[in-house]
Structure 1
Amino acid sequence: MSVKKSSVTDIFGVIAPSYKEKVLRFNLQKVKKKRSDKSKPPFSITAEFILRFNQTKNPKEKKKLLDLARKILLKCKRKLGLSTLGTGEHVHLPTTWIEISYLAQCKGQIQDEALNVLYASLDHASFYYDHPPALFFLAESILYRLCCDAFLKPYLYSLEIKLAKIGYLISLRLFIYFLYGHLESFKEHLLRLQPFLYALSFSGEIYYMYPNIFSNVQVILKTMDIICKRELPSDSIFSRVENKNQHEGTDSHMEHLQDNQKSYEVNNLLWHCVAAWTCVQKNSPHLNNVLEHLTFHKTQLQNKCWMDSALALLVLGEAAKLNMACLKTLMDIMRDFLLTIMSVQNQKENGSVDFSWAWIIVSIYITILTEICLYAAISNLRKTAFIGFCDCKSSKKYILPLDKSEEQPELRETSFLGLLDYFSSKMSDNCDEVIWIGYYDLVYNLVKMSWELRGDEEQDGLRNVIWQTLQKTKNHEKDERIHNALNIAEAELNDPTDPFTRVSSNAGDEIFSKYIGWRVANILSKLLFPSADILPLKKPLIKPHKTKYLYKKQDAMKKKVLHFTVREHPSVIDVPLFSNPDFFTKRDEELTRIIDHYWEKELQIRQKEDAICEAKERKERELEEKKHFKEIMKKREEKLHKQTKPYELPPRTEAISLEGKMISPN
């Protein structure tokens, strides 16, 4: 018994604890595994997922990974707020931008859809403080793919067009943050971009025959050049390259950079364009005066430092979508610019004047004019932007075949058809780059407009004119560069055939920027006119981001390491780019509220007084009517000896007596 007992004791006293430890260890490992599984969301993008997606050849696994990628894409669309213009409690743009950039590394249709979603989000998103880190990450990713992937391919792919368009939106947003003075703490990010910008500066030979891409690349380089000169030391790589290519005679109104103050001053043309847009938004009576001053500064469009001019056209184009006077001013400014450029280039004596950059302004203007033709507020604005202010009968000559016996047309107005007629008449093998690039962009945007207007019954007339004009161009134009524009536009729309005969289309693709112009105009108006109800007509001498109304800057953000795996983050409340209103704005609002309160009381008192007066007048009218009626009855009684009212029968007894008298005794 003792042996058995001792053995039992050994079993429960020695063996059992070791078994408990094993069970505890197993449970701990299980719990840790569950926690690790919970830390990774079910739809997360990792390096392993991207490699498996791109390299797998198993059909079942490929289908499973494709379904998972589509679920991730749907989640990103919701977090980007595509249906709500980037607003909502579920929206967190910086994290989702990085996540969608990772998803864009999956080849095939997922890559195209991810880039389309990213382009649409960057187009309509608002400006917030927490965006610059994510924008720098996107800029580095896009430039890396352009310089290291796209340059090595022997042919042009639609992917390069999308990357260039996304890079254009990113650089435009970073330039706005630069104007606000919010990029001072991002010098390390700018230094990381410099090798890619250096490589991109040599892309002229690659993209020269594709102006739609080359213009976006030039905007990227120009904005980064201005930002780097302002934020980085003078011995940086990119600034040295740009200084070698820099021409003398820079306009001081266009770009005023000083080492001691480190300030950037916008030119008068941009300032007045923002003022015109603000007048249109507030329905101000000062719009005509602002447009007159704007026309006075139209020669600044000819300055070589063209970034402010591009922004000015973008802002004025947004005002032209709402107001006919702004549209006419925009077209007049561009007409004067083109006539000046062409006259100077025709004079071979003036070889010292360099307008090699003028084609960029022309390309940007044609894109803005195309957006006005599509998205203007009323049909009259869309029609005027496409046909012009002249007689509509003259538009028939754009549809009919060209007659070589006719004289070359003059540039009367810079509508879409007016530019098409002007540039097509001057096309030749050795024509100036402004002419063939302008004609190229017009044909390129014609194809894209026809695709955008598909299925829109309200604009059948415009679509028919576009179709007839495009068919005439296809049939009668022999220049390979123009046919190249047709092919690239159709390839960008993911349709190798005629876009007019297509049956199905992807409605989610964004081919034009619909909202970035309005976002830029709105944020610039808050910078240049922070609390002005009545716009001054002269530009202030102070720098825009040195005023006392400048919005508060965000505190220096802590450096964070961006891991390759993107996890779910709790939603962060978006901090607006501008702070609470200042003292003067609050005082004006309080005075307005008090005036409205007392005005409501005054209206109530007046309504009571009016009601009393109406009741008094009603009583007086009734008394006069009664008095008048008594006078009539008195006169009737005197004349007819009757007390009955007119058209009133006598009493029944009186009627019976009268009847008895009338009956004869027989």
Structure 2
Amino acid sequence: MPILKVPVVHKFGIISHSQRLELQQRLIRQSYNEPQESDKRQSYTNPLEVSEQFVHKYNASGIQEKEHLRDRADKMIQRSKRRCGYSTYGEGDHVDLPLAWSELAILAQCKGKLQEDCFDILCTTLDQAPLHEENIPTLFFLAESALYWLRTDILKQAFLRAAEVKLLKMAQLVFSRLLFHHLSGHLRGLAEFKTRLNTYLDGIKEHQSSYQCYPGVWLCVRFISRVGEIIIGPYATKTVSKDDVNESVPALAACVFRALCLWKCVSTTNIGVKRAIVEMLLASQELSNNDWVDGYVAISILAEASKISSPALSCLQDLARGVRVTQTSEGRFETTIDHFPPPPINTAPETAPTRSGTDLHPPAPATSDKDDLGKKIEEEMKGMMEDINQTMGQSNEEITFISESAHTVSVEQLNNSIHQLGIKQSAGNNQSPTFGIGSWCWETGYQYSQILADICLNAGTTDIMKVALLGKWQDADVTTFRAGAANPCVESCALVDMLEYRGAQPRGDIVEHMKKVDWTWKLRYGALSAVSKLVHALQGNEMKHGSRSAAWSLMLAVQESPVSESRVLEAIRVAQVEFVNININNNPTTSVWKRIAESLSEIYLLPPPPPPPASRSGRVGPRNTPSPRKPRTPRSVKISRPTIKEELLIHTSVENTNPEFNARTSLDLNRVIADQWRKEVMRQQNKEDDERIKEMKREREEEEIRDREILEKRKEKLKGRPTANLAPYQI
């Protein structure tokens, strides 16, 4: 086989070796970049895709360009709003919560009104969305983002801003969900997330003092800080490693566990409610512990039970009033009330200056002695206590649980089961117990005022709404309410009572007493904030016009009172920022605490027992003779006529609005389709009628032909006879 020698041709002429290498590298680089450029030209990017570049462009643009970008940003928000299930409570095939929350967190970096809109959507979806374990990484991302914004941008500002309030509300909901996952044991082993969260939480405690003038915002910061410490746990120290930590499922506090039991009884079978209420009252001391997060969670779960059950709401208000139930040596339950509790445990140092003696409100005169008041309050629960003592049949050695299966459990077995379920006992049982809202931490008392407003908005019946707002003063004229007289919240503890709560009745030196109860202004601030929330949230709601009028009268009375403090009246301005964007037409049927109660009850509580099977005995009982029927008397039918106001509302309820273009076109299209369908049906009916007529004619002709043939055959047979020409059957 011949060997061919291919000549080497220098196409670029005579060049040096270094120039040739440089030329080859340039050609290789050019051939490498050409496919990438072609790929860029062929690739398509969604113009509504959320990215960091859009955020930087939006913040750096001018006023005119920002208006053009705002339309594009609104479309992005609508996509994320649908993706997070804003109108379907976070459920559906179109919902992708991790992606939607991440996009809203990125868009929240845009300054101005766009940032507040993103925070509003995040607050709504975080309050309504279901609790799924796959959302934990996104929740950590939101928590870290909120803490980063809080440390870099928010804390440097001199005044409280609307975006700051909404950011803290969003962060509070995020940490509430993380607290649930912590109690459920879903955060075990997430050392990287906890270590990174500890880095962002470092230094938050030092900035809490800047929010002391606004207890609602201050509570959000304290909740974030405290729950963050609980979640991080042993990872707070930087020297600890993942292998050295042995994480386990945390224990529930006794008050939280008994609140779950009450919620379970109320929301499922309604069996054992009295027993659950008594157990909750027995655990009232747990609400006064140093760890205020347990009391915060317990009353939040009780609020969800109070929305659907009036006895649960009475139990919640009895806990705030100081009603306590004790068990005697004979095994019976007795109820008393603590009228003069000591000041609560200080959970944070107060740096605010004390007010001068000229601004102090003089106390109201004492009503009666302690024992006399106790007798009046004991009569309210006497009937319930007697029913419980009769039905339970207790002794010193065993406790009978009221259930369909009627099991008997000893005290030792009860303690063992509580230990197995992971319920932690209070460490302060040996001390003298104190009860009532005066013994709670101010964080728990503030949350109590907020959940009363939530009950007024979302309760199942109007009676529950009235009790939450007015307590035992339901029949009183709210328009005549005048603020100024101190209310110890002993006879009733509703929102109207908390507006004037100034602690227990003074005994001894008034100046010392006012120094001890100076913290109560935070509870008055919370009550006024809750009333303002009702005023803004019920605006335009004709069904709850009476509740809004009552709340408006209470707010005006506090504003016009000469003893109202300026720091308390500041709650009205802050409430306008928090609740002005609430949509009353989309009344939420669920909340984050309702979902937490449902999930925790499935984890820590046993399912309700099945109903007992029907007895099928073979014995036949005596036959009952039917009693003679009584003559039925006709009942008078009373015709109810609407009032003049109702008739006006009926005629003015429907507004004459012009339909939009899409609605008009869809109506026209439906009209054309209906007309074509009608014509097609008529054409088919006419065609069937014609075919039916033709068939009848053909049958008639065939019958006539058959008759003629019969006649011809007969003539042939009778040919030559006299009856041959007669028709058949012719006489």
TM over 0.5: yes
1:55 to 55, 60, 76: 60
Instruction: Describe how 1:267-282 pairs up with structure 2 within 5 A.
Output: 267-282=253-268
Cα pair distance change 1:521/1:532, threshold 3 Å: same
TM-score by length of 1: 0.65
1:490 equivalent in alignment to 2:597: no
Aligned equivalents of 1:401, 1:455: Cα separation in 2: 26
Alignment correspondent of 2:312: 326
Deviations 1:497-541 (Å, cap 9, x if unpaired)?
A: xxxxxxxx6749999996112111111111112x5223xxxxxxx
- Decide which of 481, 486, 492 is 1:413's aligned counterpart: 492
Structure-to-structure mapping, 1:398-547, within 5 angstroms: 399-402=480-483, 411-423=490-502, 430=515, 432-477=517-562, 478-493=564-579, 507=583, 515-529=591-605, 531-534=606-609
* Percentage of matched positions with identical amino acids: 25
The separation in 1 between residues aligned to 2:186 and 2:154, in whole angstroms, is 31
Q: Indicate whether 1:232 and 2:314 are aligned.
A: no
Greater relative CO, 1 or 2 (CA 8 Å, sep 6+) = 1
Count of matched residue pairs: 481
Residue from 63, 67, 71 that aligns with 1:67: 71
Write the mapping of 1:275-290 to structure 2, written as runs, cut at 5 A: 275-290=261-276
The Cα of 1:48 is off from its aligned counterpart by 2.1
1:314 to 2:300 alignment: yes
1:92 deviates by 0.4
Separation in structure 2 between the aligned mates of residue 213 and residue 418 of structure 1, nearest angstrom: 23
Q: Which amino acid aligns with 1:299?
A: Q
Counterpart contact for 1:409–1:422, Cα < 8 Å? yes
Return closer, same or farther for 1:509/1:166 CA change in 2, 3 Å cut-off: farther
**Residue 131 of structure 1 aligns with which residue?**
135
Which secondary structure state, in structure 1, belongs to the residue aligned with residue 341 of structure 2?
Answer: helix
| Alignment counterpart, residue 32 of structure 1, candidates 39, 45, 60 | 39
Alignment check: 8 A CA contact 1:116 1:509 kept = no
CA distance in 1, matches of 2:219, 2:473: 33
Deviation at 1:204, TM superposition (A): 2.6
Answer yes or no: is 1:378 the counterpart of 2:461. Answer: yes
Distance 1:516 1:510, change over 3 A: farther
- The 1-side partners of 2:482 and 2:595 are apart by 41
Deviation at 1:184, TM superposition (A): 2.1
The residue that corresponds to 2:168 in the other structure is 164
Q: By how many angstroms is 1:262 displaced? A: 3.7
Deviates more, 1:289-298 or 1:463-472: 289-298
- Find the aligned partners of 2:132 and 2:443 in 1 and give their Cα distance: 29
Q: Cα distance, 1:269 vs. partner?
A: 1.5
Question: What is the SS of the residue equivalent to 1:343?
Answer: coil
Q: What secondary structure does 1:455 align onto?
A: coil
Q: Which moved more, 1:136-145 or 1:470-479?
A: 470-479
1:41 deviation in Å?
A: 2.4
Aligned residue for 2:446?
363
- Letter paired with 1:125: A
Secondary structure at the residue paired with 1:202? helix
CA distance in 1, matches of 2:86, 2:608: 33
Is 2:466–2:474's contact at 8 Å kept on the other side of the alignment? Answer: no
Structure 1 residue 205 displacement after superposition: 1.4
| Unmatched runs of 5 consecutive residues or more in structure 2 | 1-10, 12-27, 325-336, 347-430, 617-731
1:393 CA drift (Å): 3.9
Match runs of 1:336-347 below 5 Å: 336=322, 343-345=341-343
Alpha-carbon separation, structure 2, partners of 1:163 and 1:33: 38
Identify which of 470, 474, 489 aligns with 1:392.
474
Tell me if the contact between 2:183 and 2:249 (Cα under 8 Å) persists in the aligned partners: no
Distance 1:432 1:481 in 2: 15
Between 204-213 and 407-416, report the one with greater CA deviation.
407-416
Compared with structure 1, are the counterparts of its residues 102 and 164 closer, same or farther at alpha carbon in structure 2 (3 Å cutoff)? same
Counterpart for residue 85 of structure 1: 89
Shift of 1:64: 2.1
Contact 1:304–1:357 (CA<8 Å) still a contact in 2?
no
Of 168-177 and 431-440, deviating more is 431-440
| 1:267-295, Cα deviation, whole Å (9 max, x unpaired) | 22211111111111212321211211221
Deviation of 1:95 (Å): 1.2
Normalised TM-score (structure 2): 0.60
- 1:100 maps to which residue? 104
C-alpha contact (below 8 Å) 2:83/2:94 kept by paired residues: yes
Which whole-Å deviations, capped at 9, do the CAs of 1:549-592 have from their partners, x for residues lacking one?
xxxxxxxxxxxxxxxxxxxxxxxxxxxxxxxxxxxxxxx8xx99
Q: Using the alignment, how far apart are the partners of 2:499 and 2:166 within structure 1?
A: 26
The residue identity in structure 1 corresponding to 2:51 is T
Corresponding residue of 2:290: 304
Aligned-residue offset at 1:347: 13
Displacement of 1:129 in angstroms is 1.9
CA displacement at 1:216 relative to structure 2 = 1.5
2:262–2:276 CA contact under 8 A, matched in 1:
yes
| Kept after mapping to 2: 8 A contact 1:279/1:285 | yes
Amino acid at match of 1:335: R
Letter in 1 for 2:531: L
Q: Quick check: 477-486 or 175-184, which moved more?
A: 477-486
Asked if the contact 2:308/2:459 (under 8 Å) is kept, the reply is yes
**In structure 1, what residue type is equivalent to 2:528?**
V
Give the superposition deviation at 1:434: 3.7
Name the amino acid aligned to 2:482: P
* 2-structure distance, mates of 1:507, 1:293: 38
Query: Once the 2 structures are TM-superposed, how far is the Cα of residue 360 of structure 1 from its aligned partner?
Result: 0.5
Q: Is the 8 A contact 1:387 1:395 kept in 2?
A: no
| Other-structure match for 1:567 | none
Report if the CA contact (8 A) 1:302-1:337 is conserved: no
Distance in 2 of aligned mates of 1:84 and 1:513:
11
Question: Which deviations, in whole Å up to 9, do the C-alpha atoms of 1:411-459 show, x marking residues without a partner?
Answer: 2121111222434998998563441000001111111110000111111
Q: Report Cα offsets for 1:111-143 as digits up to 9, x if no partner.
A: 111110011110001111211100000000001
2:130 match: secondary structure: coil
- Residue 698 (structure 2) aligns with: none
Aligned partner letter, 1:420:
L
Q: Provide the C-alpha distance between the structure 2 equivalents of 1:76 and 1:56, rounded to a whole number of angstroms.
A: 23
Residue 432 of structure 1 aligns with an amino acid whose one-letter code is V
Residue 584 (structure 1) aligns with = none
Q: Distance in 2 between matches of 1:236 and 1:420?
A: 49
Equivalent position amino acid for 1:221 in 2: S
- State the superposition RMSD in angstroms: 3.8
The one-letter code matched in structure 1 to 2:541 is D
Give the 3 Å change call, closer, same or farther, for CA 509–111 of structure 1 in structure 2: farther
Cα distance in 2 between the residues matched to 1:346 and 1:309: 13
The code of the aligned residue for 2:529 comes to Y
2:145 and 2:586 mapped to 1: Cα distance?
21
State the distance in 2 between where 1:73 and 1:129 align: 25
SS of aligned partner of 2:322: helix
The 1:228–1:486 alpha-carbon spacing in structure 2 relative to 1, beyond 3 Å, is same
1:373 partner letter: C
2:23 is matched with: none
Q: 1:431 to 1:155 in 2, by over 3 A?
A: farther
> C-alpha separation between the residues in 2 aligned to 1:25 and 1:228?
49
1:185 aligns with 2:189: yes
Q: What does 1:196-275 align with in structure 2 at a 5 Å threshold? A: 196-229=200-233, 232=235, 234=237, 262-275=248-261
Letter in 2 for 1:32: D
